[in-house]
């Protein structure tokens, strides 16, 4: 049975929802193009990011890797810098032999990196070590800082996701109060699943779901 690992590079801090080579790479080779950066900026336009947590940066900067220290040492973190390190992590995983499609390594609708790794028949210790090593080298501490900065984006997308998903159910004659996802009726379960998947695609959240507005589980 093929093992597929969904990697989500995000920490949804402060929310009661779940939407997460030994040779150093030259991260400048993985710098996002101006067009890519502009597309990312437009995607999140109108949503203000939180200021970087200076205390947190000072806490992690001495224990992080050189690539991450370089982008954090000015006390700021830009979307281009975060993309640069995320792309470098993806390339690190590819170089380690993990089955990752380079074209799918990108920022999603939550301003986080998410991608699927096909590990074949087994998830070996070597695979685990590679994932841990690449994260430590390129994104581990930066992700913590970025998660706090992008909390407003996650909150915004979560609310819109839940509202839209509830509307999807209503259009199909179902109510959130009836909890069709937990129904004994397979057709209702299927409809709820279809609405969830449609919302995931619409808001580009990968495999993360924020549920339905009115289900009592989210903001």
Secondary structure (H, E, C), 53-106: CHHHHHHHHHHCCHHHHHHHCCCCCCHHHHHHHHHHHHHHHHHCCCECCHHHCC
Do 12 and 120 belong to one domain? yes
DSSP 52: P
Any domain includes 218: no
Do 190 and 142 belong to one domain? no
Under 8 Å between Cβ of 196 and 209: yes
Under 8 Å between Cβ of 93 and 85: no
Model pLDDT, residue 102: 78
Do 121 and 163 belong to one domain? no
Model pLDDT, residue 10: 39
Model pLDDT, residue 116: 72
Do 42 and 114 belong to one domain? yes
Task: Kindly state the tokens that stand for 198.
Answer: 């449609």
Domain that holds residue 189: 159-203
Do 192 and 140 belong to one domain? no
Angle at 10 between CA 36 and CA 155, to 5 degrees: 90
Do 139 and 164 belong to one domain? no
DSSP 215: S
Cα 87 versus chain centre, distance: 13
C-alpha closest to that of 147 among 11, 7, 8, 51: 11
Task: Kindly state the tokens that stand for 50.
Answer: 């939180």
- Single pTM value for the model: 0.73
Report how far residue 55's alpha carbon sits from residue 25's, in angstroms, rounded to the nearest whole number. Answer: 28
Number of domains in the chain: 2
Task: Kindly state the tokens that stand for 133.
Answer: 């090593």
Report how far residue 198's alpha carbon sits from residue 193's, in angstroms, rounded to the nearest whole number. Answer: 9
Under 8 Å between Cβ of 112 and 10: yes
Do 25 and 88 belong to one domain? yes
Model pLDDT, residue 39: 52
**Those residues with Cβ within 8 angstroms of residue 198's Cβ, 6 or more apart along the chain or in another chain:** 165, 168
Residues in the chain where the model's pLDDT stays below 50 = 1-34, 36-38
């Amino acid at each position: 049975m093929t093992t597929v690992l969904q990697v989500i590079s995000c920490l949804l801090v402060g929310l009661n929802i779940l939407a997460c080579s030994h040779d150093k790479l030259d991260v400048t080779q993985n710098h996002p193009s101006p067009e890519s950066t502009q597309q990312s900026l437009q995607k999140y336009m109108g949503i203000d990011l939180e200021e970087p947590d200076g205390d947190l940066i000072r806490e992690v900067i001495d224990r992080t890797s050189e690539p991450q220290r370089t982008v954090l040492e000015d006390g700021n973190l830009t979307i281009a810098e975060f993309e640069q390190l995320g792309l470098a992590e993806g390339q690190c995983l590819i170089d380690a032999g993990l089955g990752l499609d380079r074209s799918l390594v990108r920022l999603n609708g939550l301003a986080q990196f998410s991608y699927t790794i096909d590990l074949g028949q087994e998830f070996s210790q070597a695979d685990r070590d590679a994932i841990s090593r690449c994260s430590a080298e390129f994104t581990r501490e930066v992700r913590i800082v970025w998660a706090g900065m992008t909390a407003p984006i996650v909150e915004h997308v979560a609310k819109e996701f839940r509202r839209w998903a509830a509307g999807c159910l209503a259009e199909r004659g179902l109510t959130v109060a009836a909890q069709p996802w937990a129904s004994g009726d397979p057709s209702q379960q299927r409809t709820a699943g279809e609405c969830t998947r449609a919302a995931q695609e619409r808001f580009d959240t990968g495999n993360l779901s924020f549920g339905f507005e009115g289900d009592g589980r989210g903001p």
